[in-house]
Amino acid sequence: FFLSLKLEKKTKGKLQKQICQVVLDHFEKQYTAELGDAWSSVRDVLTSPWCWQHALLLNRFSQSPGLESRLAEQGYRPAFAAALPYLPAAFRCYIRTTPGRFPAQKHQAGKLKEYYLLNAASLLPVLALEVKDGEDVLDLCAAPGGKSVAILQCACPGHFHCNEYDDLRSRWLEQTIESFIPDALINLIVVSKLDGRQIGDLQPEFYDKVLVDAPCSNDRSWLFSADPQQAVLRLMQRKELSSLQFQLLRSAIKALRPGGSLVYSTCTLSKAENSDVIRLILNSCRNVMPVDLSEMARGVSQEFSFLSGTQRHELLVLPEKGRAWGPMYVAKLKKVSST
């Protein structure tokens, strides 16, 4: 016992040194103001990678005999067990309350992976999107590809457009799709490297569903910025992100058919990049209306802890010990007319 305690202290010390103080100080100030009492327990989880959890999204296109019994032996159970407004039968995700990570699978040409390791909260935007077979779907900022893969676990779109502007991340996206999706389906997927802000003008009213998993200040990774100068630069550039997010949303709305819906998501706690962006869109685009997510939130309340006091069309997952998922902000909008 004492040996394991010593090891734990050593590990904690090691990881503690890697926390970027500049970022932590910035978060401390901003999130104490924005989250109030909730921030201290969230901070404890975000600064303690040894208590982080990883979920497994099973790949319906890959045979994996014995995998589910192996997961059960290691304490994993199916997530999203409650009745949800939208939960396709083929969509299978496993979680456990204890920290730790199931072994990752290497990319092998011609062999599909059996599962995708991810933060379980990142599946909420996909479930909120409610994709049906045959719909035309756009994943506007798709890399590294986890949400694109998750969409294809839910349904088979008529046309699936995965876009990623950044060249390096676009190659990562292509490899992810190749690792999880059979050739017959890959032929139905279009991967592009367009500026997401222009897609609405290039393809107006083309899509039934659009996911905008926007570039954001990633709170988990930023806290462990190895280079303090890079961290300072990131914090300065953070102010510009909400403008980019707003432009991406405007483009997504243009790309949507009337009656279509979009989901906006980020992995930050920042109000400026979350509810402020959505409020600005609702105030400036008269042809969209908010969609109530409270039924979905109730259905997953066993798995996730949410910030209270948010609007009915949005939710913010707060990491806590034993449910160390998130941060993940999700909001849903529907396009009601062309103009």
As annotated, the binding site for S-adenosyl-L-methionine includes 141-147, 164, 195, 213
Q: Give residues with Cβ within 8 angstroms of 110, minimum separation 6.
A: none
Tell me the C-alpha distance between 55 and 145, whole Å: 16
Tokens 């996909």 — which residue? 126
* Closest by Cα among 111, 231, 208, 200 to 159: 208
- Tokens representing residue 221 in the block: 């990774």
| β partners of residue 163 | 192
Residue 216 designated active-site? no
Say which of 20, 51, 267, 285 is annotated catalytic.
267
Residues acting as catalytic residues: 267
